[in-house]
Amino acid sequence: MKKKSQQKRILLKLSGEALVEEGKRGITPFALKDIAKEIASASKDCQLAVVIGGGNIWRGVRDGGGIIDRVNSDNMGMLATVINALALQSALEDINIPTRVLTSINIYELAEAFIRRKAVRHLEKGRVIIFAGGTGNPFFTTDSAAALRASEIGADILLKATQVDGVYDSDPRKNPKAKLISRITYGEAISKGLQFMDTAALALCMENNLPIQVFNLHKKGNIKAAVDGKKIGTIIY
């Protein structure tokens, strides 16, 4: 998709944990305020879309406890992303950033339905858009939703903000000797079984030649640095 301006178009994938104090559930006001400021700073130099997860409120099969079936559990997770999106929208608008929430599930009273052309138009008008509701289907993660929406809007890159500094050759939280990988191909990431993003999302990015940058969410200024093309974290290409 050709853009009418030369301004970079970026999709930022955030986990729900970005909105909450570490180790807690729900939404923490100061964490919400901080991430809104980071997004506001980054949005000045690009057309910015956000996909947000819902793990701070509901995390699929784990929280279902074997009682709630997978489809219902995933549907609940999609609703959790809508809650997060509305919270983030309020925080952004509180600091005068025009924002729209678009959902893949029909909640007309709360947010706009996702229509690709409308999403692109919002971006061209300088609004930050927040995609909620995942893909609208169970069995797909919000990583897959991020890859899908980024491809649909013609994003130049998918930025994935995580809890660690990038992609490692093993889990750095379990292995203190884990090594940070600065660059890796989609195929290598899939074949090595690296767990930073699910295989369906990686495959979709590979098919659409969409680069991914993975970096640490918790370092102040990292979102802006990634938007500006700084070499932080890991590039998957």
Angstrom CA distances, 163 to 16, 17, 68, 172, stand at: 11, 9, 28, 10
Give how many domains the chain has, as a whole number. Answer: 1
Q: Is 171 annotated as a binding residue?
A: yes
According to the annotation, is 74 in a ligand binding site?
A: yes
* Residue 64 known to bind ligand: no
Q: What is the pLDDT of residues 30-72, one digit of tens each?
A: 999 999 999 999 999 899 999 999 999 998 767 777 789 999 9
Q: Partners of 131 in the beta sheet?
A: 51, 102
In a domain, 147, yes or no: yes
Is 208 assigned to a binding site?
Answer: no
Residue showing tokens 């980071």: 38
Domain assignment present for 1 = no
Tokens standing for 4? 């009418």
pLDDT in tens, 188-198: 999 988 889 99
Residue 135 marked ligand-binding: yes
Residue 3 domain-assigned (yes or no):
no
User: Is 137 a known ligand-binding residue?
Assistant: yes
Domain-located, residue 57? yes
Instruction: Tell me whether residue 133 is annotated as binding.
Output: no
Q: What is the pLDDT of residue 195?
A: 82
The verdict on residue 20 lying in a domain is yes
The pTM (predicted TM-score) of the whole model is: 0.93
State yes or no: 14 annotated in a binding site: yes
Residue 4 lies in a domain: no
Res 104 pLDDT > 70: yes
* Residue 55 annotated as binding site: yes
124: domain CATH number is 3.40.1160.10
Is residue 130, in this structure, part of any structural domain at all?
yes
Residue-range definition of the domain harbouring residue 126: 9-236
Structure tokens at 227: 């938007």
Residue 3 has pLDDT above 70, yes or no: no
For the chain, how many residues are written? 237
195 is in an annotated binding site: no
Under 8 Å between Cβ of 151 and 163: no
Establish if 181 belongs to a structural domain: yes
56 is in an annotated binding site: no
Residue 7 assigned as binding residue? no
Structure-token pair, residue 15: 């986990």
16 is in an annotated binding site: yes
